[in-house]
Amino acid sequence: MLALASVVAMAQSPAAPDPTKGQQIASQVCAACHGPDGNSTAPANPKLAAQHPEYLAKQLQNFKPAPGAKEAERVNAIMAGFAATLSDQDMINVAAYYAGQKLKPAAAKSPETVALGQKIYRGGIPDKGVPACGGCHSPNGAGIPAQYPRLAGQYAEYTESQLVAFRQGTRKNSAQMSVIAGRLSDAEMKAVSDYIAGMR
């Protein structure tokens, strides 16, 4: 009986990532918004190139409602439609493909807020209970694989929109980020997002 359970578990576990299959899916499903190599040209759509594959696969999963849940942890009608068509293995393959692409970073646009953005990213806002972003996303914005996403070079507009979504509760897949975003003002969100866009 134990051997049978082991065989069933092996059959259900995903195979190793296949970036070639991921590229095929990406070119048909994802490229219109995220670019063929994961470098979106529209600030509303995130850059996926060089992102940690575990993080990308998790985000795709989060656009689908978990078993027994009424709604997904990330609510986005467009992404929900695409995610619904992908198997777990498809998600792993797409994530592996984009993770292997070279990021073409965005750039900071507001010299006036760079100092504030850097201060928040590197030191947080202690009197508001906001930790330094670099504590989880690393000092250079590269993130920590399988735990925290790469932020460096991401569009400021996208990063800011996600902080707002965490604060408003429309993005629910990180309790930690929901709390942190809830303590940031609009100006602080904008400043740190712009600083992140200019990180290399």
Residue 141 lies in a domain: yes
Per-residue pLDDT tens digits for 97-134: 999 999 999 999 999 999 999 999 999 999 999 999 99
Residue 9 lies in a domain: no
50 and 128 in one domain?
Answer: no
Cα(177)–Cα(185) distance, rounded to whole angstroms?
14
The residue assigned the tokens 């629910």 is: 172
What's residue 14's pLDDT? Answer: 75
In the three-class reduction of DSSP (H, G, I as helix; E, B as strand; rest coil), residue 125 is classed as strand
95 and 32 in one domain?
Answer: yes
- Looking at the DSSP assignment, which residues form a beta bridge with residue 74? 171
pTM over 0.85: yes
- Of the three residues 99, 120, 147, the one that is the final residue of a domain is 99
What's residue 12's pLDDT? Answer: 61
Residue span of the structural domain in which 81 resides = 17-99
Cα(122)–Cα(151) distance, rounded to whole angstroms?
13
Q: Which residues contact 167 (CB under 8 A, 6 or more apart)?
A: 178, 181, 182, 184
Could you say which residues of the chain have pLDDT below 50? 1-11
What's residue 4's pLDDT? Answer: 44
What's residue 104's pLDDT? Answer: 98
89 and 153 in one domain?
Answer: no
Total domains, the chain: 2
Per the structure block, which two tokens stand in for 34? Answer: 């995220």
Q: Which residues contact 37 (CB under 8 A, 6 or more apart)?
A: 49, 101, 102
What's residue 5's pLDDT? Answer: 47
Query: Helix, strand, coil proportions of the chain in percent (round to 5)?
Result: 55, 5, 40
We report the CATH number of the domain holding residue 187 as 1.10.760.10
What's residue 92's pLDDT? Answer: 98
DSSP state of 29: I
First vs last C-alpha separation in the chain: 53
Cα(189)–Cα(105) distance, rounded to whole angstroms?
19
State the CB neighbour count (10 A cutoff) for residue 161: 17
Residue 7 lies in a domain: no
Residue 12 lies in a domain: no
